[in-house]
Amino acid sequence: MRLFLDTNVTLDVLAGREPWLHDSATVLSLLESDQFHGIVAAHSITTLYYLCVKELGRDKATAALIDLLKLVSVAPLDQETILKAIALGWGDFEDAIQMLSAADANADYLVTRNARDFKTSAIPVVSPSELLAILRSEGPPSP
């Protein structure tokens, strides 16, 4: 199962943000299994680094990103994706790029805490807790 993680989900874990830490950390822990593949957008990495440096300091932010990159792959961001995002005319440009990156990465789910911002998404959008509930009801995916 391919899971595209929005910046807020990974930041919850890297910065230890409550009350979302537990569910987001559980989603990230799924990526240690061969049954799940995690993906983040290229621009999320720069945003995460910037925010984590402010929150944790440079050394801890660097270590956190290195650990994250052991669990996820990075979806490329190119001019075509940016132009498509502009053409969508969404109120939040960054969310449009997230959705298009997730679709280009063939993600099964876009995992975010801001599902309401993705009402016209090309792929299913779920919160970490919703994803975990789906997995409990359906069981783990086959490899």
Q: Which CATH number is 122's domain given?
A: 3.40.50.1010
57, part of any domain: yes
Query: Closest Cα partner for 106 from 69, 68, 73?
Result: 73
Listed in sequence order, the DSSP H helices in the chain are 7-14, 21-30, 42-56, 58-69, 79-88, 93-104, 128-138
Instruction: Assess if residue 143 is contained within a domain.
Output: no
55 belongs to a structural domain: yes
Helix (H) or strand (E) holding 5: strand 2-5
Residue 102 lies in a domain: yes
* Average pLDDT score, the chain: 93
In this structure, what DSSP letter does residue 31 have?
T
Domain ranges, residue 16: 2-138
Look at the chain and report how many structural domains it folds into: 1
131 domain residue, yes or no: yes
| Dihedral over Cα of 124, 126, 130, 135: its sign | positive
- The per-residue pLDDT for range 84-137, each reduced to its tens digit, is 999 999 989 999 999 999 999 999 999 999 988 887 888 999 999 999 999 999
41 within domain boundaries? yes
* pTM recorded for the entire structure: 0.92
Bridge pairing between strands 125-126 and 2-5: unpaired
Backbone angles phi, psi at 139, to 5 degrees: 80, 165
The reply to whether 124 falls in a domain is yes
Contacts of 22 by beta carbon, 8 Å cutoff, 6+ apart: none
Whether 101 is in a domain gets the answer yes
Q: What pLDDT, in 10s, does the model give residues 27-36? A: 999 999 999 9
